[in-house]
Structure 1
């Protein structure tokens, strides 16, 4: 990666000298979140597994490495990225058959999958990274072990920064072994009942890993019934005991493991029917980040609920923006549009994200420190919703 790294550094230094903006881009799977303007700097040349110690549960990888490639290497050793970063294949052109998501895009977007509420998010697994700042300097932060830090934890600050603070070149990640056992349970429950049971189960020593609630489900062949799906992961004895306990408390069924696994993968990448069948051509997909303990929120339509109540997806017409944001704010959270479309729509999505004045000031100071000339991804800003991503 040495030649590719030097080429990238030269491009940053040249852009700085010429006052030219740079658009940092990997595989493009997150383009719908917003595109910046400027000369393209393709990060995919910064690729490769630089070091991997399965016994130490640490991997160091170039940020242009395909996410699918990293996950395949980890799977060979029975390990994984437990936060299940989405590949978002639906956002790709129909001619693209495979995921183009990169490790750098995973960090820049900061998005996590169904297991987020139980295992943590992207930033919880970042041990250290290297980046090129707006001065063309190649800097190193953190390392390959978990440790306390004083001041800003720069490695984790980069998660969700959307490439606005620097060009990520490599990252060291903590990985974990795959759970020895897994089971998915399905319960026919209204949203309020589902949230009540999730909150109660969450306070017990049960191996809860992921959950989702949907009003009109076709995932497991259950037609037009409100369903709660709960995934359990852990030791064989713990999973089996939890299945018996939960099914004894609430009538439900245990799903076929192969079908359930495929459905959770669709959930991870927003490919379930809820996401692929908008109720109207101009409907917008909203992402509500709420406290897990938030009750049922009055919304324009029934949401798709994940993260034990902490993440709620919603289809709403363009005129419902104020209603949705007010409902999210009153529940102690925030809401932003999360929908593919034209660049104006993407820009509108982030303009609608509630701004926190104190957070905005910190972001401005960080930007001035890392990228004083504003070279990287102009027009984008760190996503305020990533506080719970």
Structure 2
């Protein structure tokens, strides 16, 4: 279904700007638990839908922000293509049966979410080619385009990715797509956490067709994607027990991408730690699950935020309170004073009245 609400959304933002009325941007609510809590009048973007342009030969798709991810993925699948960054849905729409609800493209890009393939195929930010944005000034601006080499100067489209709607409403988004691999195989190895990190970082230095890695606390899972010859040779080199295709799909898509693994069912706050991949295991209270070749470490812990952030900062990383806990606290890792000043200036340029998702990232943004 295609529906253009540009004019209506622009009128709402203009009226809110004139009245200095904060707006809480909403899609289908699948990302409402992420970021800080926002006080403001709800502005629904879920009705602004439709795939505007899909050129399989050009490897690009353009769609409106409210377009369900499952609708886009279904269109790509018909042409043997996919969204390379494997975005999580965090909703019961991953089977494609509920195309009118569930995760939207706008919410996914606004939150900058990527799945298991992120280190190997690129992040959401890497693959956004262009956007049409409605700013807090009620201006409609277009950045980037639909090819990789069309950006001159500062890439505003990628700045919008992961900004949680604080800089503008992503009306339309162009994203690079890639062919689905002809052969996919998953291997598992039993090892300790230190050994898992050592193996993952060792593999990263070799020309292996790895498309996902995860250490679940007991076993190291490795996914290989590519042509049959390359995958078979890599599997022989890496070793481990081969996993049934159906079981592997459930693990990577449902348990890891959609966070339905028993690890994520714990009631303790869920922290997302981003660290250099080769960093040894962090000594923190709680349990951990490791992805992205060692660079992304999920932590379930009731430990104080300053303890978790101090440990992460000491190894050159940062920590985000991803889900649970106090959503009015410093959810995202505190920024240095100079960088925070830059963020405030950017917010002022795009949203001078501070009406778009105020406080969703930081209390002063």
2:273 to 274, 285, 288: 288
Q: 2:234 matched to 1:242?
A: yes
Q: Which residue of 1 aligns with 2:327?
A: 346
Distance 1:382 1:64, change over 3 A: farther
Distance 1:62 1:265 in 2: 24
1:306 to 291, 296, 306: 291
Q: 2:336 matched to 1:356?
A: yes
Does the CA contact (< 8 Å) of 1:87 and 1:99 recur in 2? no
Secondary structure at the counterpart of residue 46 of structure 2: helix
* CA distances 1:123-160 after superposition (whole Å, capped 9, x unpaired): 11111000111121111110111126444210000001
Q: CA deviation at 1:89?
A: 2.3
1:149-164 equivalences in 2 (<5 Å): 149-164=151-166
Q: Structure 2, unaligned stretches of length 5 or more?
A: none
Does the CA contact (< 8 Å) of 2:71 and 2:99 recur in 1? no
Does the CA contact (< 8 Å) of 1:290 and 1:310 recur in 2? yes
Q: 2:55 matched to 1:36?
A: no
1:317-328 equivalences in 2 (<5 Å): 317=302, 319-328=303-312
Does the CA contact (< 8 Å) of 1:89 and 1:98 recur in 2? no
Q: 2:206 matched to 1:256?
A: no
2:321 to 337, 341, 345: 337
Distance 2:119 2:103 in 1: 22
**Corresponding pairs, count:** 356
CA-atom RMSD in angstroms: 2.0
2:345 to 345, 349, 365: 365
Distance 1:75 1:185, change over 3 A: same
Does the CA contact (< 8 Å) of 1:88 and 1:99 recur in 2? no
1:87-126 equivalences in 2 (<5 Å): 87-89=89-91, 100-126=102-128
* TM-score with structure 2 setting the length: 0.93
Distance 1:213 1:8 in 2: 44
Secondary structure at the counterpart of residue 31 of structure 1: coil
Distance 1:3 1:148 in 2: 26
Distance 1:4 1:103 in 2: 16
Larger helix fraction of residues: 1
Deviating beyond 4 angstroms after TM superposition, the runs of 4 or more aligned structure 1 residues are: 96-99
* CA distances 1:148-199 after superposition (whole Å, capped 9, x unpaired): 6444210000001000011110011110000111110000000111111111
Q: CA deviation at 1:358?
A: 2.6
Q: 2:253 matched to 1:265?
A: yes
Secondary structure at the counterpart of residue 362 of structure 1: helix
Q: Which residue of 2 aligns with 1:233?
A: 225
* TM-score with structure 1 setting the length: 0.87
Q: CA deviation at 1:301?
A: 2.8
Does the CA contact (< 8 Å) of 1:164 and 1:381 recur in 2? yes
Q: Structure 1, unaligned stretches of length 5 or more?
A: 216-225, 384-389
Q: Which residue of 2 aligns with 1:5?
A: 6
Q: CA deviation at 1:45?
A: 1.7
Q: CA deviation at 1:200?
A: 1.2
